């Protein structure tokens, strides 16, 4: 611009500046999107975004048609300029303009305090600078609304033939810009017209932005497409199922193209920057119009946690100059969301809602099929399924498959689910067999015996699992708990898990009334003890199990008891229990007394002392168990039980195989994304 020309002028109110400029846009990518959109409207082939970290500037340059001085004043600096009234389009390149409301340029001040514009059209060069502080000062001088004249700059630096270069300085939100890769990713996610196919290339710090920079195509597993989506499908290297649903979204007012999809794991929808990709983005005229419409649907199943989508909707913005319906743009002022009360938006939601229902059902089927396939990759699980009868086998596969609908991505948790499914299915088979008994003819003895035999096998295998789990508990306690902690654990655990003392003591029987009476007996015994004897006791409890009454007394680990002390208490327990049982008419029911000690009795070390003491205790049906020997004896008892019963433990083999199974390693890219998520 020559020195003799009229100055550039920006007329604006403080209210417009604050609300439609500084506070309207929420992040840097949104602001850059407005500039990139202007370049598209200017028929640019290339847009280059350069972030100079040292200088603290962002430069956006395009090779579009540029602007003359009069166009700068009449269009660029005219707040609220209705572009489509004067430039309705399509452009010479056949593009339908994205801009309409004439407020996008104000977004620059939401991230920068200084904006430099350099542009050239038809050989005429122009350059000027605007500063936010100066605009505010001028507006305040004119009491809330004024005309600001940008500073004219030299045009000597304009060395490009046509286009516009915008330099953003004194950045206000530098911390939100992120890395080059992050900026590329976010720009790519805001446009559907970037790339060679559309003749519109965008570069960030010299690297071209491509559709693959959206960084989620390689995580998609199931996809539903609308219109020709071969370009997208080509980027989706992990798609396992794809369904064309074009005919299902037909509408008189809007046209929908794009895709909806689910990813393999929920974690894939969180990228390194923490952006939530669990959304359905809506694009209008190639630009992001609403980041997420999925939030409009409150009633969603587990499948929705895996959802992602890009839908391009034609018909939400049809205004192309005077003479058309001026209310046919459904975008809000910020152009980052669709007006919810618009009839076309309601129709869009209705169509998407119907598609989500379909996807929910298909996702459940696909996940079930995948879950069954995943479980059957374990040879032992496959063998277990193959051994089932055909009808039962089909149910087992379906049973295993349903687990995959649960939102669990961790491999170890998935293994646990498979194990629980196998065990649960065996219980299901027991109930199913019992129901079959009702339908067997009275004279069909063989069928009845077959069911009984099957029940026996199931019972052995299921009990084998219980035994193995108990052995594992014992082994873990032996390996990981020190002596002091062991005594506390046993004290808390023993009275409700008597199998630690004897495998045959499975469950305590309902003896609430008897326990109250025995508690009174304990109180009477306690009353006769010396203070030293009372201090030597840790706890005492009564249970009835396996048809006999059991009294368990825990002595403190450091306490050394004498035979006389033990005998005195045994006599009181025995006589008291006999009195209680006589009152109930149950004198024939046995009573066993177990003393859990930390140290050997005083007489234990003398010659024949141990044998004599054991014989004496046997007359009271009593025995001594030591803390450090308890778990060893329990382990030995269960090991002997397993050996004597000769349990094949087919289910145990399946469980161990599931634990040992290592799924195929995923790709390096997938592992990277998992770590980032």
As a whole number of angstroms, the distance between CA 359 and CA 262 comes to 9
Q: Could you tell me if 52 and 128 lie in one domain?
A: yes
Q: Could you tell me if 440 and 549 lie in one domain?
A: no
User: DSSP readout, 202-238?
Assistant: EEETTEEE-GGGG--GGGEEEEEEES--HHHHHH-TT
pLDDT at 75: 81
Decide if 264 contacts 219 (C-beta within 8 A): yes
Q: Which CATH number characterizes residue 194's domain?
A: 3.30.565.10
Q: Which of 323, 351, 379 is the last residue of a domain?
A: 351
Q: Could you tell me if 157 and 190 lie in one domain?
A: yes
Q: Could you tell me if 124 and 193 lie in one domain?
A: yes
Q: Could you tell me if 145 and 232 lie in one domain?
A: no
Confidence of residue 277 (pLDDT cuts 50, 70, 90): very high
Considering the chain, what percentage of its residues have pLDDT values greater than 90?
26
Confidence of residue 80 (pLDDT cuts 50, 70, 90): low
Which of helix, strand or coil describes residue 63?
coil
pLDDT at 58 over 90: yes
Q: Could you tell me if 148 and 18 lie in one domain?
A: yes
Q: Could you tell me if 490 and 468 lie in one domain?
A: no
As a whole number of angstroms, the distance between CA 424 and CA 420 comes to 6
Q: Is residue 662 part of a domain?
A: no
pLDDT in tens, 155-176: 999 999 999 999 999 887 554 5
The first and second tokens of residue 486, run together, are 């062991």
Q: Is residue 630 part of a domain?
A: no
pLDDT at 249: 94
pLDDT at 330: 47
**Looking at the 3D structure of the chain, how many domains does it have?**
4
Q: Is residue 469 part of a domain?
A: yes
pLDDT at 506 over 70: no
The DSSP symbol for 252 reads S
pTM above 0.85, yes or no: no
Q: Is residue 361 part of a domain?
A: no
- For the chain, the residue count is 677
Confidence of residue 488 (pLDDT cuts 50, 70, 90): low
Q: Is residue 201 part of a domain?
A: yes
Q: Could you tell me if 400 and 539 lie in one domain?
A: no
Mean pLDDT (whole number) for 207-236: 94
**Contact partners, residue 671, CB within 8 Å, separation at least 6:** 665
Q: Is 622 exposed, middle or buried (0-12, 13-18, 19+ CB in 10 A)?
A: buried
As a whole number of angstroms, the distance between CA 18 and CA 22 comes to 5
Cα 167 to its chain centre, rounded Å, is 41
Q: Is residue 143 part of a domain?
A: yes
pLDDT at 654 over 60: yes
Q: Could you tell me if 195 and 344 lie in one domain?
A: no
Mean residue pLDDT across the chain: 78
As a whole number of angstroms, the distance between CA 234 and CA 218 comes to 10
Mean pLDDT (whole number) for 148-158: 91
User: DSSP readout, 357-404?
Assistant: HHHHHHHHHHHHHHHHHHHHTSHHHHHHHHTS-HHHHHHHHHHHHHGG
Q: Could you tell me if 254 and 327 lie in one domain?
A: yes
pLDDT at 244: 96
pLDDT at 434: 55
Q: Could you tell me if 313 and 437 lie in one domain?
A: no
As a whole number of angstroms, the distance between CA 343 and CA 549 comes to 77
pLDDT at 230 over 90: yes
Mean pLDDT (whole number) for 194-214: 94
pLDDT at 5: 56
Q: Specify which residues 288 forms β-bridges with.
A: 283
As a whole number of angstroms, the distance between CA 219 and CA 269 comes to 9
Domain range enclosing 556:
481-620
Confidence of residue 392 (pLDDT cuts 50, 70, 90): confident
Q: Which residue has the higher pLDDT, 380 or 41?
A: 41
Q: Which of 173, 207, 241 is the last residue of a domain?
A: 207
Q: Is the Cα torsion angle 426, 431, 432, 433 positive or negative in sign?
A: positive
pLDDT at 335 over 60: no
Q: Could you tell me if 43 and 148 lie in one domain?
A: yes
């Amino acid at each position: 611009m020559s020195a003799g020309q009229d100055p550039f002028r920006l007329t604006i109110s403080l209210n417009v500046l604050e609300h439609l400029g500084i506070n309207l846009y929420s992040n840097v990518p949104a602001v850059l999107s407005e500039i990139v959109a202007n370049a598209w409207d200017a028929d640019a082939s290339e847009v280059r975004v350069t972030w100079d970290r040292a200088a603290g500037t962002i430069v956006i340059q395009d090779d579009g048609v540029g602007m003359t001085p009069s166009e700068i004043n009449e269009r660029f600096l005219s707040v609220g300029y209705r572009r489509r009234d004067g430039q309705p389009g399509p452009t010479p390149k056949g593009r339908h303009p994205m801009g309409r409301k004439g407020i996008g340029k104000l977004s620059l001040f939401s991230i920068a305090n200084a904006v430099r514009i350099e542009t050239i059209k038809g050989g005429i060069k122009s350059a000027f600078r605007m500063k936010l502080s100066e605009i505010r000062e001028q507006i305040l001088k004119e009491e809330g609304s004024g005309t600001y004249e940008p500073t004219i700059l030299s045009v000597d630096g304009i060395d490009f033939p046509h286009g516009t270069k915008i330099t953003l300085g004194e950045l206000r939100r530098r911390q939100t810009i992120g890395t080059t890769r992050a900026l590329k990713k976010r720009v790519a996610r805001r446009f559907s017209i970037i790339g060679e196919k559309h003749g519109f290339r965008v570069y960030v710090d010299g690297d071209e932005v491509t559709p693959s920079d959206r960084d989620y195509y390689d995580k998609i597993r199931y996809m539903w497409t609308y219109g020709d989506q071969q370009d997208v499908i080509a980027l989706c290297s992990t798609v396992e199922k794809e369904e064309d649903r074009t005919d299902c979204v037909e509408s008189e007012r809007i046209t929908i193209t794009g895709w909806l999809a689910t990813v393999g794991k929920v974690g894939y929808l969180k990228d390194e920057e923490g952006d939530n990709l669990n959304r359905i983005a809506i694009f209008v005229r190639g630009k992001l119009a609403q980041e997420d419409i999925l939030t409009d649907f409150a009633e969603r199943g587990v499948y929705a946690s895996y959802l992602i989508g890009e839908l391009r909707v034609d018909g939400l913005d049809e205004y192309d100059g005077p003479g058309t319906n001026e209310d046919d743009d459904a975008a809000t002022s910020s152009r980052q969301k669709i007006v919810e009360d618009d009839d076309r938006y309601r129709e869009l939601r209705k169509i998407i809602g119907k598609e989500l229902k379909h996807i929910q059902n298909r996702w459940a089927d696909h996940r079930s099929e995948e879950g069954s396939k995943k479980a059957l990759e374990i040879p032992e699980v496959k063998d277990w399924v193959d051994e089932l009868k055909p009808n039962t086998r089909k149910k087992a596969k379906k049973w295993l498959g349903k687990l995959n609908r649960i939102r669990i991505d961790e491999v170890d948790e998935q293994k646990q689910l498979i194990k629980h499914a196998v065990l649960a299915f065996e219980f299901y088979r027991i109930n199913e067999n019992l129901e079959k008994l009702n339908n067997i003819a009275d004279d069909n003895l063989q069928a009845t015996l077959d069911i009984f035999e099957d029940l026996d096998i199931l019972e052995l295998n299921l009990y084998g699992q219980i035994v193995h789990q108990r052995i594992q508990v014992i082994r873990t306690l032996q390996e990981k708990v020190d002596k002091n902690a062991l005594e506390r654990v046993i004290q808390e655990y023993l009275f409700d898990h008597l199998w630690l003392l004897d495998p045959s003591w499975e469950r305590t029987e309902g003896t609430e009334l008897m326990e109250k009476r025995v508690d009174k007996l304990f109180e009477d015994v306690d009353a006769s003890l010396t203070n030293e004897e009372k201090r030597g006791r840790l706890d005492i409890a009564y249970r009835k199990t396996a048809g006999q009454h059991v009294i368990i007394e825990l002595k403190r680990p450091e306490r050394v008891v004498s035979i006389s002390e033990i005998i005195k208490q045994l006599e009181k327990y025995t006589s008291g229990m006999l009195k209680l049982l006589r009152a109930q008419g149950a004198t024939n029911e046995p009573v066993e007394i177990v003393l859990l000690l930390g140290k050997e009795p005083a007489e234990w070390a003398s010659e024949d002392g141990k044998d004599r003491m054991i014989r004496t205790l046997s007359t009271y049906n009593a025995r001594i168990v030591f803390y450090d020997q308890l778990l060893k004896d329990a382990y030995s008892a269960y090991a002997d039980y397993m050996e004597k019963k000769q349990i094949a433990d087919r289910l145990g083999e399946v469980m161990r195989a599931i634990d040992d199974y290592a799924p195929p390693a995923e790709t390096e890219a997938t592992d990277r994304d998992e770590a980032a998520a």
